[in-house]
Structure 1
């Protein structure tokens, strides 16, 4: 059993499931109040995911990774715990029953260990992922915002037929008749002058309007896109750790020091 290790063995480890797929990273290690051994961990499941509890019972180390005997979805669907600062008996029992049903028959829980493991659950205290090197690593979440092209809509053009009245002024002409009388001058000869009836006629002409229609192309029409860049504000909560002093140990006891937060 890996919970024979100290809490520092789990802090910050990458957690994988039975298929070797990454579930998340160990955020907190919880120590059993009665036995003093690590019993539970919380796992950060993604940048904006929630911390999920998982038991260390049945887990094992796979290289630098901590392997759990559950699938990724089992951990992500585990019951939520309201007070993550302290895990009481009811909460640990509910979590135990949830994970026990996903181990199946023949598991180590079904060989008698579940009674001891369940009954040993007392209030557990979180253990931060520290070290013995004399310093703490302060971490924070940082936003990495990018863009991707997605379809925002469609645009098209089409043509259709309409009928309109068009007026064109066309010059037209026609012949009109008028009578011209010219008196005969002395010396004018007139052949065949007789008394009697006679007639002369001329042909009158006029322009008639003839309309013909011809289809011709007048313009080309197409669609073009233009990229317009705007500014869009992205608001998202990020977490960060702060450092403060908790007290100074002297020969006379612990003297509280003024706590100071550090960004």
Structure 2
């Protein structure tokens, strides 16, 4: 398992899909607020003047020399819900990130967010 402290060292590295196709660059990682474990990567995509961040599930991710490989296809990742480079995912849109990848979503027991960016 990739530890959270190791993830910080991989910021700005290429993120590729399971076929080795570049999706973008790793910007940060969102953790599950219940477990503290990495849950989603935010990946910087787009043209140099029009970047945005997309969300990609972290489960199954592995690192290699100069890249992070995720288990999801580039096309699916690029169509993921996104935010601006300095934006925050609105609470009411959080479920859409999970549903985009066919994953179940439930806010925390007290209604808190399930994801927190690190």
TM-score normalised by the chain length of structure 2: 0.70
Distance, in Å, in 1 between the alignment partners of 2:36 and 2:19 is 31
Q: Are residues 1:51 and 2:53 paired?
A: yes
Deviations 1:31-70 (A, max 9, x none): 3222222222211114233211111122222333111112
Alignment partner, residue 72 of structure 1: 74
Distance, in Å, in 2 between the alignment partners of 1:60 and 1:15 is 10
SS in 1 for 2:8: helix
* Contact preservation (8 Å) 2:45, 2:54: yes
Give the direction of change, closer, same or farther, for the CA distance of 1:42–1:60 in structure 2 (3 Å limit): same
| Structure (1 or 2) with the greater helix fraction | 2
Shift, 1:14, TM fit: 1.2
Give the direction of change, closer, same or farther, for the CA distance of 1:120–1:62 in structure 2 (3 Å limit): farther
Distance, in Å, in 1 between the alignment partners of 2:15 and 2:96 is 22
Q: Which has the higher contact order (CA 8 A, sep 6+)?
A: 2
* Contact preservation (8 Å) 1:87, 1:125: no
List alignment gaps of at least 5 residues for structure 1.
101-113, 128-263
* Contact preservation (8 Å) 1:86, 1:126: no
Structure whose CA Rg is larger = 1
List alignment gaps of at least 5 residues for structure 2.
none
* Contact preservation (8 Å) 1:42, 1:51: yes
Alignment partner, residue 139 of structure 1: none
Q: Are residues 1:36 and 2:39 paired?
A: no
Deviations 1:64-116 (A, max 9, x none): 3111112211111112347943563x53332112113xxxxxxxxxxxxx66x
Q: Are residues 1:85 and 2:79 paired?
A: no
SS in 2 for 1:19: coil
TM-score normalised by the chain length of structure 1: 0.35
How many pairs does the alignment contain?
Answer: 109
Distance, in Å, in 2 between the alignment partners of 1:71 and 1:15 is 11
Distance, in Å, in 2 between the alignment partners of 1:10 and 1:32 is 19
* Contact preservation (8 Å) 2:83, 2:89: no
